[in-house]
């Protein structure tokens, strides 16, 4: 492998990892803020996901130039194609994270504390787990370990999805009726963002698995 080519690949990988790590740190900060509904702590999480759009555009441009200059084949080609799709998933994950912060600040005080402790916090913890394993996948080149990490992302995402369903059922079944549908809908919409972030982590993990072992892009 040409030194300049390897340098470009390493640069792209580091940039993707940096954004993914930022999304993970933002969601860890959200998790820490959920117990007290502290608005300042929620807002500080946004610092980790600033300018994601411009950063991913820069990565995409570097990928296109690398493809044009070096015409990579096999695994390297799969990796660059995966990165092109991963940047879009990272933009969506960052957008969902910002929406979650905004929505949860407005609804946190209105949520039953039991629901937060029993469902919302464990759901966000599962989302953080999915993101953490996904970041580990980006920084791992061993195909066997990548497959193991993918399985962990899949389990964490499934847990997040199941917990959201439990939250939805618990909120909608409260007292046998809904007195304020608008407020309830906002609560569920906000909490849904956490599950969607886990979805994005799984989508990225699937692309990284494709880059590592081949197959089809799902």
Q: Residue holding tokens 């411009």?
A: 54
Does the pLDDT at position 117 exceed 60? yes
pLDDT tens, position by position, 22-76 = 999 999 999 999 988 888 999 999 999 999 999 999 999 999 999 999 888 888 9
The pLDDT tens digits of the residues spanning 70-109 come to 888 888 999 999 999 999 999 999 999 999 999 888 888 7
Name which of 49, 42, 44 is nearest 23 in CA terms. 49
47 class by beta-carbon count within 10 Å (0-12 exposed, 13-18 middle, 19+ buried): exposed
Q: What is the pLDDT of residues 137-186, one digit of tens each?
A: 999 999 999 999 999 999 999 999 999 998 888 777 765 444 556 667 77
Mean pLDDT, residues 116-140 taken together: 95
Residue 200 to residue 134: CA distance in whole angstroms: 10
Mean pLDDT of all residues in the chain? 90
- Block residue for tokens 């199941």: 162
pTM over 0.85: yes
3 pLDDT more than 90: no
CA distances from 142 to 87, 148, 156, 207 (A): 22, 10, 21, 15
Burial per residue of 142-180, b for 16 or more beta-carbon CB atoms within 10 angstroms, e otherwise: eeeebeebbebbbebbebbbebbeebbeebeeeeeeeee
What would the mean pLDDT of 109-117 be, rounded to a whole number? Answer: 80
The runs of H, that is alpha helices, within the chain are 3-34, 39-44, 52-70, 74-107, 113-115, 121-138, 143-173, 181-213
Above pLDDT 70, what percent of the chain?
Answer: 94
What domains, with CATH codes, occur in the chain? 3-213 (1.20.58.220)
């Amino acid at each position: 492998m040409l030194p300049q080519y390897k340098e470009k690949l390493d640069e792209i990988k580091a940039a993707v990892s940096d954004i993914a790590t930022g999304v993970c740190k933002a969601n860890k900060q959200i998790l820490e803020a959920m117990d007290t509904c502290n608005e300042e702590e929620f807002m500080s999480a946004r610092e980790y996901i600033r300018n994601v759009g411009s950063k991913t555009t820069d990565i995409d441009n570097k990928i296109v130039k690398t493809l044009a200059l070096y015409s990579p084949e096999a695994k390297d080609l799969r990796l660059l194609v995966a990165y092109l799709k991963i940047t879009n998933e990272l933009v969506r994950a960052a957008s969902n994270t910002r929406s979650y912060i905004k929505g949860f600040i407005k609804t946190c005080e209105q949520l039953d504390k039991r629901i937060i402790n029993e469902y919302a916090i464990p759901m966000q913890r599962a989302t953080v787990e999915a993101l953490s394993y996904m970041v580990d996948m980006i920084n791992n080149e061993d195909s066997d370990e990548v497959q193991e990490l993918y399985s962990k992302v899949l389990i964490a995402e499934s847990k997040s999805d199941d917990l959201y369903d439990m939250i939805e059922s618990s909120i909608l079944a409260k007292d046998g009726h809904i007195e304020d549908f608008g407020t309830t809908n906002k609560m569920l919409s906000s909490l849904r963002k956490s599950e969607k972030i886990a979805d994005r982590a799984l989508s990225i993990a699937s692309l990284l698995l494709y880059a590592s072992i081949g197959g089809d892009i799902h």
